Structure 1
């Protein structure tokens, strides 16, 4: 099950890369499938893209690999197990 975040984590601006490359900024090529990016000390793995993003990257000439399976989230798995344990039928 994919993780869906709510709220705004990043606003529209140039995002600096983490040290030792903090004099550089992320570019569109950094946001490709099966890549991990570190945004303000939070690491994200890109596993999918929507149709708009696919078309946008394609027009820019960015090659996109096949989609990958999202990694399992231990906390979500734990909450599902707890929910099943206490569900009455």
Structure 2
């Protein structure tokens, strides 16, 4: 999913791609993501945010996808997906009962 401001300053949202990947490491996912961005003529340097679930290959502080992307685009701040956090919280409450 790609969210951006158009020439009139209005927020737009577009679905870019579904890409089959076989390498689920942070480096493999980064390579696939960069390929999709390049295909659509988008620059990683203009990325301003990224949100994922809490998987270690995504959120890892030193080798996670969010870190690899921030190395390329320092303003691409990472946010742990709120919907996923909420689902995890509800699941843990359910199993504690």
**TM-score normalised to structure 2 length:** 0.32
Instruction: Considering fraction of residues, name the structure with more helix.
Output: 2
Instruction: Considering fraction of residues, name the structure with more strand.
Output: 2
**Greater Rg, structure 1 or structure 2?**
1
